[in-house]
Amino acid sequence: MAIKDYIRERFFPHIWCPGCGHGTVMNSLLRAIESLGMSKNEIVMVSGIGCSSRISGYVDFHTLHTIHGRALAFATGVKLSRPELNLIVPMGDGDALAIGGNHFIHAARRNIDITAIVMNNRIYGMTGGQFSPLSGYGTMATTAPYSNIDHAFDTVELAIAAGATFVARSTSYHVKQLSKILRDAILHEGFSVVEVLSQCPTYFGRKNRLGSAVDMMEQYKNDTTPIGSKAKKENPDLIERGIFVQKEMPEYCVEYDKIIEKAMKGN
Amino acid sequence: MGKLKLKEHVITREWCKGCGICVHFCPKQVLELDDQDKVFAARREDCICCELCELRCPDLAIEIETEQGSE
């Protein structure tokens, strides 16, 4: 199928701002799904609230647009009742790690087979540019007019520490890598976290004088490096991208089935 | 079997928001924005069908249609 067969064309053009990275994340995700030859009926996309979460309206899978931060909780319910379906949960940085921080770490700890995508634009775009837990120290936001004193989470380290069995990072500039990582994440049996650095030229870019969407993507090109590269040793400020963790662990639904079997035997 | 040849830049004008990502990152400077800030292929003969515009477009507004070359 062509990627346009996976979208709801009647809702296009989408509401995302000109140059928003979220559109590119959707583009890469659709290509990953197309390359896997998946049918629309075997995918469930569950999203929460925020700019990123609007994605569930645009893709023609089974979609649930749920409540802020709780997309993973809804997805857990869907997955447990229909384990044969593929769950994809795109979230924003605030949705995933502030409002939904607790759901995030516990979904990772359980290793339930869900693909979580953190579309990290470092700000709450939809509500007007408030700082998020990924904005970082020294950044500017509507709610931090004299600069932000909160330090940022490292999504990758947090996901690894919480027990996710597939953890990766890419950016909206590195589309070929992003598409491949998303493909691997979907295929992985267990909880996968993919952090995607995605530009918000409207709020984060403007508040922090980072220029246009194009300028912000140039920064992703220049400020990131493949995991373990020589460049990283020379410049520790570079952000690594690639697959950090990919390991086999018992998956939650499989384990739950075993419990059902045990209970049915009555011992 | 020849190599892939460009057939057409399929542009959905109503979806293009003129962000300029495709224009800036095209390795052959094939694309430009017109006076209404919509993308068009200004130098289509230079296109190498790398499809980076199509892969990066946040609006799914540009597609590279290819055909098999004659040799």
| Cβ–Cβ contact B59 with A under 8 A | yes
Cβ–Cβ below 8 Å for B15 and A213 = no
Neighbours of A241 (CB within 10 A): 25
As its CATH architecture, domain A16-265 has 3-Layer(aba) Sandwich (3.40)
pLDDT under 70: residue ranges of chain A:
267
Report CB contact under 8 Å: B60, A217. no
Which residue is closest to B26 within chain A, CA to CA? A214
Q: What CATH architecture applies to the domain B4-68?
A: 2-Layer Sandwich (3.30)
Letter for the amino acid at A68?
H
Calculate how close chain A gets to B2, using CA atoms only, in Å.
Answer: 23
The pLDDT tens digits for A151-184 are 999 999 999 999 999 999 999 999 999 999 999 9
Domain residue spans of chain A: 16-265
| Token duo for residue A149 | 């004193």
Please give, rounded to a whole number of angstroms, the shortest distance from the CA of B45 to a CA of chain A: 24
Nearest to A72 by CA among A91, A58, A56, A92: A91
Q: Does B38 touch chain A (CB under 8 A)?
A: no
Task: State yes or no: pLDDT of B1 exceeds 80.
Answer: no
pLDDT of residue A148: 98
Chain A CB contacts of B25 under 8 Å are 214, 217
pLDDT tens readout for residues A6-49: 999 999 999 999 999 999 999 999 999 999 999 999 999 999 99
pLDDT of residue A182: 98
Is pLDDT of B4 > 90?
A: no
Question: If you count DSSP H runs as helices and E runs as strands, how many of each does chain B have, helices first?
Answer: 2, 4
Inspect the interface and report whether the beta carbons of A4 and B58 lie closer than 8 Å.
no
Q: Establish whether this prediction's ipTM goes over 0.90.
A: yes
> How is chain B split into domains, by residue range?
4-68
Please report, for residues A40, A73, A196, A247, the alpha-carbon distance to residue A173 in angstroms, rounded to integers and kept in the order given.
27, 30, 10, 27
Mean pLDDT of chain A: 97
